[in-house]
Chains A and B, each alone.
Chain A
Amino acid sequence: MTHRSETVLDVQDVHVEFSGIIALDGVSFGIAQDEILGLIGPNGAGKTTLFNCLSRLYHPSRGDILLGGTSILQWPAHQIARAGIGRTFQNVALFGDLTVRDNISVGMHALTRGNLVSDALRLPMSRRTEARIRTETEELAELLEIADVLEVTAANLPFGTQKRVELARALASKPRILLMDEPAGGLNQEEVFLLGELMKRVRTEFKTSILLVEHHMGLVMSIADHVVALNFGKKLAEGTPAEIQAHPQVIEAYLGGGDA
């Protein structure tokens, strides 16, 4: 195993059950600082369930999830972003009727402060916040090459562009950890390649760790520093991409099993 730097997020023995069906069965792993960690596994392996635990949409029946040493399981879902975990969704979950600008601006909600009265009366505090949101939104749009569609309603954009908007929205909160749920889904070969390049750039420029759930093995193996393989809610293997590719049980799960 290669040397990994300090762990930012620690998943410890997480266990999730849905009315008798075990979705996650004692899964443990850690994400290091500035690392791209690929989480792989056949359909139903528990990848999205784990994501939803990290977003506080599901509560594990056992185990703990630590962010910088503090358990996130006490926090409501809306405090996760403030704590530094940002995410994108499996099939893109933009605010469809809002413009790209407003979508990215909402991404800054957790970073900014404000209240109803100050906002409605345009008090100096709210004006400053607005100015900051405008500037940073435009910077992000430049970076992700969506500046020309800032005023377009998100639902009217092509799927690939929507994914960029979603990434910009997630980055707007300057997350320490970015969760990406199957970002390559629905993209063609060239777009997947560009996505990989973009993710590497994001990792460097935003100094963020990325937890990547992905079916696209090519993408995972080319950009991940570390890979965790799940099957039937259990951790099957963990290691570098090369180690995982050579792992007999992983090969078995992907090629031999009847699950996928």
Chain B
Amino acid sequence: MMDIGNTSTRTDPSAAIPARPGIGARFNVIVTIVLLLVLVFAPAFAKNFFVFQMTLWLIYAIAILALNLLTGSSGQVSLGHSAFYAIGAYTAAILLNETGLNYVLTLPVAALFGFVAGFLFGFPALRLTGVALAMATFALAVATPAIIKLHVFEEWTGGVQGLFVDKPRAPFGLPISDDAWLYYLTLAVGVLVFLFGLSLLNSRTGRACLALRDNPIAASAMGVNVALYKTLIFGVSAAIASIAGALSAIAIQFVAVDSFTFHLAILLFVGMVVGGIGWLPGSLVGAAFVVFVPNIADGISQGLSGAVFGGLLLLVIFVLPNGAKQIATWLSAQFGAK
């Protein structure tokens, strides 16, 4: 089961059908294998610039998955994940420049910093729900660039100048371009993060989060420490967003304060909604939307690209209020019924 407890089953008639175990499962396996094959072999047929774009896409997908894990499971809304993304990016860049640590090893460090930041932010956020929590996280997103530019941190963060990072080379004499190597590294991290999220959701911990989302009082009566699980899942989500940020620093080889404004936080949120809240694979679709659609919109009309993007977003929300998840549920039911 890839679906985290449907957030929209009450309006979704297909959910009323008892889903026997196995229905759509084979379909899911086939789709997953095909998707993985496409992802693995795509760089062989693409130009380096497009490979770089695909890397960015996967990085966004990881960040969107982070948000999806938070909102889809515990129901907490964040408009501030750009802050955790920034923590990861700067952690990686500073470690690479100051310590010469291997770039792959910056990822777990970034995850740790992100987790701590998210966990700590989760505490004040405990008192807030819904719109109030969205506002608090939004404040975090707005404050982040200013904090990075602060004089005291400038020595580390490079202030408005940003930080440059060396481009990692393909190791072990692999006969692939450096861009392709970065792509595969990102893909591998993405797969691991996805499996991590999936296992988490289908475990005792994940169910505790889903339960507190649906009914915090009943969850508490079942022994779920609501405050603990809310902050834990916030920490995990922030850690994953931080990993995405670290990957972005390595892939782009440049970290700049302007990349971490609230605009990024909103894009991640849009990506989550387009992919379908609570459906982890939807993060790929949502990321494709926020990475590629602006380019397409640019191609249609340069002057009106924002309007075209907005129009397309409106269309998606009207036609598919549950995002890509809706298509997946429908397809799964079609194939499962046979």
Contacts and interface: CB of A to CB of B under 8 A. Distances in A.
Interface string A50-66: 00000101000000000
Nearest to B13: A156
Contacts, number: 128
Contact of A97 (B16, B214, B218, B232): B214
A27 to B, nearest CB: 21
A55 B5 CA distance: 26
Given A87-B221, A97-B7, A152 B205 contact: no
B6 A97 contact: yes
Nearest to B23: A151
Contact of B10 (A80, A96, A115, A149): A96
A123 to B, nearest CB: 10
B199 interface: yes
Contacts of A129: 204
B211 A98 contact: yes
A4 interface: no
Given A106-B222, A151-B21, A155-B9, A120 B207 contact: no
Given A78-B220, A106-B222, A173-B223, A120 B210 contact: no
Give the most central of B203, B213, B215: most A CB within 10 Å.
Answer: B203
Nearest to B6: A97
B314 to A, nearest CB: 27
B224 interface: yes
Contacts of A78: 220, 223-226
A102 B220 contact: no
B215 A156 contact: no
Contacts of B215: 93-96
Contact of B203 (A111, A119, A151): A119
A229 B72 CA distance: 45
B86 to A, nearest CB: 24
Contacts of A110: 222-223
Interface string B4-23: 01110110000110111100
Nearest to A79: B223
B236 interface: yes
Given A95-B219, A98-B5, A114 B203 contact: yes
Given A95-B211, A97-B214, A115-B205, A151 B199 contact: no
| Contact count band on A | 35 or more
B5 A152 contact: no
Given A80-B221, A98-B5, A106-B224, A116 B205 contact: yes
B223 A81 contact: yes
A175 to B, nearest CB: 11
Nearest to B223: A110
A173 B214 contact: no
Nearest to B8: A97
B166 to A, nearest CB: 32
Contact of B5 (A102, A112, A121): A102
B222 A169 contact: yes
Contacts of B197: 120
Given A81-B222, A97-B5, A109-B222, A149 B207 contact: no
A144 interface: no
Contacts of B226: 78
Contacts of A82: 223
Interface string B261-279: 0000000000000000000
30 contacts: A78-B220, A78-B223, A80-B221, A80-B223, A81-B222, A93-B215, A93-B218, A94-B214, A94-B218, A95-B214, A97-B6, A97-B214, A102-B207, A102-B211, A106-B208, A109-B208, A109-B223, A110-B223, A115-B205, A116-B205, A119-B204, A120-B203, A120-B205, A126-B204, A151-B18, A152-B19, A153-B9, A153-B15, A173-B222, A173-B223
Interface of A: 55, 57, 76-82, 86-87, 89, 93-99, 102, 105-107, 109-112, 114-116, 119-122, 126, 129-130, 133, 148-149, 151-153, 155-156, 169, 173
Interface of B: 5-7, 9-10, 15-16, 18-21, 196-197, 199-200, 203-208, 210-211, 213-215, 217-226, 232, 236
Q: Which are the 3 A-B pairs with shortest beta-carbon distances?
A: A110-B223, A81-B223, A119-B203
